Structure 1
């Protein structure tokens, strides 16, 4: 009887879900060579090729796709069992705060893993702006927060970074009009920096909305009545990144930072570690399981 090793199965699932060996290694906090060796041992145990390496891009074979279904169930069952048997160590409630534009796709994945490990810990997710979340943390109203900033403040830890992009309606022309019509929430942390870059570039602008509601801002932009700025990975399908060919100033890079991870709560450290791993694995282009990058 051949027994499947859960460590190798976990690495296999990570490669499939993260889009390749490099990002899987980051998510598991392992080296790339360690993950590659685990995949090789799994293939040798089963006597099957699980990955098609004939092309530049790695793809799951038919056997690999079949195994993935079982591997996910086995890993989830293992995590559930461990969580149930050790949940007396971890119990209580945590409040995690994050801006709405950095929640997907990492935060839901992390919360799912965390719940399997600590089923008796209730995690409350609070979505707000970075400025409001920082203030809530100072008042002790949240335990752990994510923010988007040009640089981390005191006590902050950068998890990853991504470009800030000008966004407008699909096929929109509002970015070509003068003065430039802008749509930003009153408490948007990007607002001051964007206005400063426009002023430095000598571009006249007008604010087209006065609101604290992100949905109102999105609606105005999607109607091609104004432009705004969003993180590259958070542009919704009804909007698109503007290719201005230099007509608008480059908005630079924003950092996704984490605050509150230095708490003495051990369970909070578990959640913080999962967020670190999740955002480390999210760097780079996302691939689907059928076409995995090496």
Structure 2
């Protein structure tokens, strides 16, 4: 006799696989941790195999879990498409979403995937730029929703997270010890002026080792241990390392991840996108 897989349990399984843990997945799904854990257990019981390797601190997929994940993604995509087309009002159009490049991951791909499933006929154009440029575009009415990284939130915005700004350098690098301290920043980076002021306030001489609007140029310079940089905690790539400076560098301020949306009037499509972004950042 044919048996059916539980779509709700599959959704929890995919969310856990995507974000790497039950806690983050529960926030993204708007469920309790215990509910997600129960769904995972029910799924494993139904197929009679272990899908998750829980032997380490971080959850990983077993080989059977990796195989099921591929099927689960396709099943959920088809389920969501069918449900949306049959039960939802048909929305069509295009939304422009602007996000600074350093906070695109891990939340935005999840948001775009879920939004596309819910509104298959709405196109989301994602643009990535610096906060200053995104706010200028938003002010000109060129972008519907933007995220920003800044010290404060302007009127009309919503703060999604407050996160520390940290010093980063090459793995096992020593550039942070040099004086004058060599810095590498894009010309439009909103962190740049505040970092320079923090260094001035504690009397640390500095110089710009490289100025470029190419993120790859900055990354190459820092990873070669020729300069240091600052980033929002948790966004540093694998080829950077947080600098444990033991007081050799000043402590930095926290930054806010803010969201601004165009218009105050009700708009079901924009409302849904903003709600999903808010939920995704709440789960991090």
- Offset at 1:144? 0.4
Q: Does 1:123 align with 2:124?
A: yes
Work out which of the residue numbers 268, 276, 279 in structure 2 matches 1:277: 279
Contact 2:94 2:122 in 1 (8 A): yes
Within a 5 Å distance, the mapping from 1:100-249 to structure 2 comes to 100-249=101-250
Query: What's the offset of the Cα at 1:30?
Result: 1.3
Matched-pair contact (CA < 8 Å) for 1:93–1:124: yes
For 2:91 and 2:228, locate their aligned partners in 1 and report how far apart those are by CA, in whole Å: 46
1:140 is paired with a residue of what secondary structure? coil
- Does 1:3 pair with 2:4? yes
Q: Is the 8 A contact 1:180 1:204 kept in 2?
A: yes
Query: Cα RMSD between the aligned structures?
Result: 2.7
Deviations 1:139-189 (A, max 9, x none): 211000111122322222222343322123344333211111222223211
d(CA) in 1 for partners of 2:39, 2:235: 34
Describe the shift of the 1:151–1:73 C-alpha distance in structure 2 as closer, same or farther (beyond 3 A).
same
Deviation at residue 97 of structure 1 after TM alignment? 0.4
Give the 3 Å change call, closer, same or farther, for CA 179–271 of structure 1 in structure 2: same
Bigger mean CA offset, 43-52 vs 88-97: 43-52
Cα pair distance change 1:7/1:242, threshold 3 Å: same
Give aligned pairs, total: 282
The answer for unaligned runs of 5 or more in structure 1 is 284-294
**Which residue is equivalent to 1:264?**
266
- The alpha-carbon distance between structure 1 residues 14 and 211, as it changes in their structure 2 partners (threshold 3 A), is closer
Q: Distance in 2 between matches of 1:55 and 1:100?
A: 31
Which whole-Å CA distance do the structure 1 matches of 2:222 and 2:53 have between them? 44
- TM-score, structure 2 as length reference: 0.85
Match of 1:27 in 2: 28
Report the TM-score, using the length of structure 1 for normalisation.
0.83
* Matched position secondary structure for 1:198: helix
Write out aligned runs for 1:84-103 (5 A).
Answer: 84-85=85-86, 89-103=90-104
Classify 1:64/1:213 alpha carbon distance in 2 versus 1 (closer, same or farther; 3 Å): closer
Is the contact between residue 171 and residue 241 of structure 2 (CA under 8 Å) also seen in structure 1? yes
- Please give the secondary structure, in 1, of the residue aligned with 2:234: helix
Gaps of 5+ in 2: none
Structure 1, residues 208-259: CA drift from partner, whole Å, max 9, x if none?
Answer: 3444443443344344332221223332344333222220112243222211
Deviation at 1:132, TM superposition (A): 1.6
Q: Report the CA distance between 1:4 and its aligned residue.
A: 2.5
Counterpart Cα distance in 1 of 2:13 and 2:25: 9
Larger deviation, residues 46-55 vs 98-107:
46-55
Instruction: Quote the Cα distance in structure 1 between the aligned partners of 2:14 and 2:34.
Output: 16
User: How many Å separate the matches in 1 of 2:183 and 2:147?
Assistant: 26
